[in-house]
Structure 1
Amino acid sequence: MSVPHARRQHREAAAAHAPPPDTLTPADRYGELFVEVQRQAVFSDSKTFVDCAPRHSPEEILAAYRARRHRPGFDLSAFVRSAFTLPRLAHDDFVSVPGRDILQHIEALWPYLSRAPQQHPPRGSLVQLPQRYIVPGGRFAELYYWDSFFTMVGLPGGADSLVEDMTENFAFLVDTYGHVPNGTRTYYLSRSHPPVFALMTRLCEQRGGHAATDYLPQLLREHAFWMDGEDGVQPGEAHRRVVRLPSGECLNRYWDDRCTPREESWREDVATAARSGRPQEEVYRHLRAAAESGWDFSTRWLAEDASGQVATDLATICTTDLLPVDLNALLHFLELHIAEVGERHGDAGLAGTFRQRAGGRAAAMARLHWDADQGFYADYDWRRQRRRRALTAATLMPLYCGVAGPGEVHALAHTVRTRLLAPGGVATTEIMSGQQWDRPNGWSPLQWIAVEGFARCGESALAEEIRGRWLQTVQEVYAREHKLLEKYALRPGTATGGGGGEYPLQDGFGWTNGVVACWLQHRDAALHL
């Protein structure tokens, strides 16, 4: 039996024989104990408690809390620390060695960011997986969806099986939950992340793992997840992640099936909703939907007035009102990929259906998302039936996913050179807001999308300039601090780590390691599409 076939059988057996997945979140399981721990800020980071592993059964812990909480001198913090094992940082036992070059550092760090199924603590929020995987680092000690693709591109040549293992894990998640969750915690199960599984299957095949045709059932199921409700939704209406336009086409938005505070950011969401003056459930839904986008948070998701002026207060968030250009570009790629895989699989009918879908989506994107006057793709407000005015790095996803034509490529190159190209790479937006997915921060996945997209479309000089600026930024910070970071500030002068957002700057860091390692090891761009 071949190794790929054996792995597929292992994954299918794991999905078939596993007990029904535990989908209860910490808020579901611990009720008023969860609320009090978060409300009283027992831990400075809201994510800490939801990542704790119970020392006893959750039912016993909750019963003990209810029995003791009104007793004189009850200490909630001491109770929690006695009842739970606190999470550790993903790589807190790793020691960076000064003098190593950056590639040696990344190679030494991979084992500390690797996880195996037997390492999962029981009865906690962590979702069980059948194969090994890489976590981002710092407070992010679980598998994340879109993060993982950018990590996988840089895994060393001797670890191709780890690329396949991670692809297998994502296929397992689709088989088990019907979609790939944001991350492998139960509190992430109600939402997904930018859909990059099709990119993973192509990368896995390129690295000598399973053929993409082996994942056709999971590719179809992921597409069905994003298109759920398509058949019943009427023009001008929406259902979950699907919006049917007045003209009849369906495009997609980000969504979350829950409308409660995110458990990993409970205090922050409660505070945002309280100052919004809006129905709390509405605000929570928008916050959660933005978390599904991966861009949590950015002025990209905030209210925009008639003149195009964007708010900077997170309380104005309106994510589900928008049709994001990057999401729809990725779904276009998924549809084309299914058509190609279906053709290779011998299913001409399936291939034709999905080529037609992709063509319809591309036409709708050209009409709604492309701003010819400004020379970039923008998000579309489907409620107001107008294109957003703000420029963001999401404009590059149609380029990367093959939606943009030659005219759009030339215009995008000009726009990026004049408006988004910063000293350290491509800026995320043009707006300084204090949110982490805004200027001045730059992010590895956005640099990858820009560089690989421009390179494959003939703009090699711009691609090389962006790549060179990003690598210089990362290497300058590494030379000074001996670590790789989640995000970087793209300002003139000394390169620094990025700021803003809900938590301190994290190091590790999976997707930075992956992109940097790939670009330093392979000088030719456009390797993966």
Structure 2
Amino acid sequence: MACSARILVTAWCFFVGISVFVPGWQGLVYGLPPPCESQIYCTGDLLKQVQLARLFSDDKHFVDMPLRESPELVLKTFQQLVNVTPGGILSKEQLQQFVSSSFSDPGQEFEQWEPQDWTSSPQILAKISDQKLQVWASDLNAKWKSLGRKIKDDVRTHPMFYSQIYVPHPLMVPGGRFIEYYYWDSYWVIEGLLLSEMAVTAKGMIQNFLYLVERYGHIPNGGRVYYLRRSQPPFLTLMMDAYLAHANDTEFLRENIHLLEVEYEFWQRNRSVSITVGDRNHTLNYYNVQIGEPRPESYSKDWELATDLNEDARQELWAELKSAAESGWDFSSRWFLSWPPPLPATLKDTKARAVVPVDLNAFLCKTEHLLASFYRRLGNTTKAAQFQATLERRLEAVQAVFWNEAAGVWLDFNLLKKQPNPAFYPSNLAPLWTDCFSDQAAAERAVRYLEGSTVLSYKNGLPTSLARTGEQWDLPNAWPPLQHMVIAGLAKSSSLRAKEIAFALAQNWVRTNFALYKKYQAMFEKYNVDGDGKPGAGGEYQVQEGFGWTNGVVLQLLDLYGDRLTSGSPSTPFRAWIIAACIFLLNLK
């Protein structure tokens, strides 16, 4: 049998067998379910007319507005207007009046809340040698008070009036337009809270996610009904591990480990794919949201993008966009079928369901490792052995499918092309962070991979890719969670080069964040790696301030390197590594 595809210069044969239906490339019959059943917030003529009229600069504004009346009455009022309007399409003025009388401003579902476990002087401050950075860390610690939210009990008793999904405990939101909780953002928020000695608040956020798993069988993308049928990268078990490292709350683990397993099984049951390498079959995971219609929070953009497509193709595109959104990387050349050049690519080329991502499988690898460890801790040797065996299969699959000997790194696998994506993404190094590898030389190979690319020439952070597409998860943007994964992965290596590049990357990231904080008195969700540094841009909305995961990542880096970091100007990591190595060698004398 001839090889159907080759991985760069290797001679491995890949024969791809899909264990779940993959509508993005096997042909899609239209009739996929909507994002949720709400005829106001997720589907229907009311949503369509309001969003296509573009009453607000951001589509998300409308679907975050609570109702003033019952859904039935609001829909009845809208239908009456439609019935007396020629053609049934309301004017912008009619829609503005209708929305104003039927909906309240976003944010009405929250009540004032300030965390009771906040302290002005957490121990992390004493670990920071640079006085300017210490003052800044104190400011970041204070920001938790402005990002805290508590959902009103009325959302629980009258959920039909809100798009907000109720959770029982107070929480932290990212900031800016993101006034609700989000799934993967919350991991870095929780890590930051724990460093701020706010374990009660951190535990409450984890309890909220466990509540969602118990209710829905998975964790939605975020705290809105229009996010219900898609998730985000699975970090719940990693959140539990972070909390246990600070609180040693074994009873909390015992009470909830079954829910950690429920969430894990959601990904195994609904997001798995089978890939055969040689004569070995491997099960891995990918993002696969089989939900139709435009995303309610970006309705007009999705509709416009699909205007020249037939109905089947439109529904397929909208499902692909939701799958990319489930990845957290919305949007990126990483999901473009025709990328890299010379073929031009746009959002229409998004085929996220055809990509088996390195980082998703690295996260699930860590989940399997932790579940095995948790069950051993609880004395359940049978379950521990089960997850240990699952972990070993995952390690074999990650090595067989993702590791590329020629590149010296792990690469996403494209199911349509039956080959890896050779492009640089920080996610290529995710297995270093989650310990999802068995070759101890992997860190040294990863360093050579970084040095062999141009990414270390950027002094304001690692770029998200080397592709300039205008999408926010591409060049020139740099994102906090990706910086942390790469830095933390390199930092725990036994390689001196890896450790010092990790420090150089951390130094530049902290300096970039600090410089812009001094300039704007704000933290941003993403940053621009070009020039002297500025807030990130691109994508579907303006750069947001706050910002939960940004603050959490900076606090983690200050915790890791507080005695070494300084508040000067960024320099290229390669030059910084040389300087650091020289200092290290001088200290040996």
> Hey, what does 1:498 align to over in structure 2?
536
- Contact kept? 1:89, 1:139, Cα under 8 Å: no
- Contact kept? 1:90, 1:138, Cα under 8 Å: no
* Change over 3 Å in CA distance of 1:429–1:151 after alignment to 2: same
> Displacement of 1:160 after TM fit?
1.4
> Hey, what does 1:233 align to over in structure 2?
none
Q: After TM superposition, list the pairs within 5 Å mapping 1:230-379 onto structure 2.
A: 240-246=270-276, 247-275=280-308, 279-304=313-338, 311-379=344-412
CA–CA distance in structure 2, aligned partners of residues 483 and 456 of structure 1: 30
More displaced stretch, 250-259 vs 416-425: 416-425
Using the aligned pairs only, state the percent identity.
31
User: How big is the alpha-carbon RMSD for the aligned residues of Structure 1 and Structure 2?
Assistant: 2.5
Partner SS, residue 525 of structure 2: coil
> Displacement of 1:329 after TM fit?
0.7
- Contact kept? 2:37, 2:43, Cα under 8 Å: no
The one of 91, 96, 108 equivalent to 1:77 is 96
> Displacement of 1:478 after TM fit?
0.8
CA–CA distance in structure 2, aligned partners of residues 310 and 325 of structure 1: 24
Letter in 2 for 1:482: Q
Letter in 2 for 1:423: K
> Displacement of 1:491 after TM fit?
1.2
CA–CA distance in structure 2, aligned partners of residues 517 and 89 of structure 1: 31
Q: Which has the larger radius of gyration?
A: 2
Q: After TM superposition, list the pairs within 5 Å mapping 1:515-526 onto structure 2.
A: 515-523=553-561
> Hey, what does 1:216 align to over in structure 2?
257
CA–CA distance in structure 1, aligned partners of residues 342 and 153 of structure 2: 49
Superposed CA deviations along residues 62-98 of structure 1, whole A, max 9, x for unmatched, are 101111235478611111011101215999x9xxxxx
> Hey, what does 1:438 align to over in structure 2?
474
The one of 238, 247, 250 equivalent to 1:199 is 238
CA–CA distance in structure 2, aligned partners of residues 330 and 361 of structure 1: 11
- Contact kept? 2:430, 2:485, Cα under 8 Å: yes
Partner SS, residue 251 of structure 1: strand
Partner SS, residue 307 of structure 2: helix
Task: Tell me which stretches of 4 or more aligned residues in structure 1 moved more than 6 Å.
Answer: none
- Contact kept? 1:302, 1:310, Cα under 8 Å: no
More displaced stretch, 287-296 vs 415-424: 415-424
Letter in 2 for 1:447: Q
Tell me whether 1:132 sits opposite 2:145 in the alignment: no
* Change over 3 Å in CA distance of 1:397–1:27 after alignment to 2: farther
More displaced stretch, 246-255 vs 462-471: 246-255
- Contact kept? 1:336, 1:358, Cα under 8 Å: yes
> Hey, what does 2:31 align to over in structure 1?
none
CA–CA distance in structure 2, aligned partners of residues 170 and 218 of structure 1: 10
CA–CA distance in structure 2, aligned partners of residues 399 and 296 of structure 1: 24
> Hey, what does 2:13 align to over in structure 1?
none
* Change over 3 Å in CA distance of 1:521–1:345 after alignment to 2: closer
- Contact kept? 1:273, 1:280, Cα under 8 Å: yes
> Hey, what does 1:152 align to over in structure 2?
190
Superposed CA deviations along residues 115-162 of structure 1, whole A, max 9, x for unmatched, are 113377552110110111100001001110100011111125341111
Q: After TM superposition, list the pairs within 5 Å mapping 1:453-472 onto structure 2.
A: 453-458=489-494, 459-472=498-511
Partner SS, residue 468 of structure 2: coil
**Bigger relative contact order, structure 1 or 2 (CA pairs below 8 A, ≥6 apart):** 2
CA–CA distance in structure 2, aligned partners of residues 474 and 367 of structure 1: 38
Superposed CA deviations along residues 28-53 of structure 1, whole A, max 9, x for unmatched, are 67621111001111112111111110
Letter in 2 for 1:274: T
Tell me whether 1:170 sits opposite 2:197 in the alignment: no
- Contact kept? 1:127, 1:184, Cα under 8 Å: yes
Tell me the TM-score normalized by structure 1: 0.86
> Displacement of 1:311 after TM fit?
4.4
Letter in 2 for 1:478: Y
- Contact kept? 1:30, 1:58, Cα under 8 Å: no
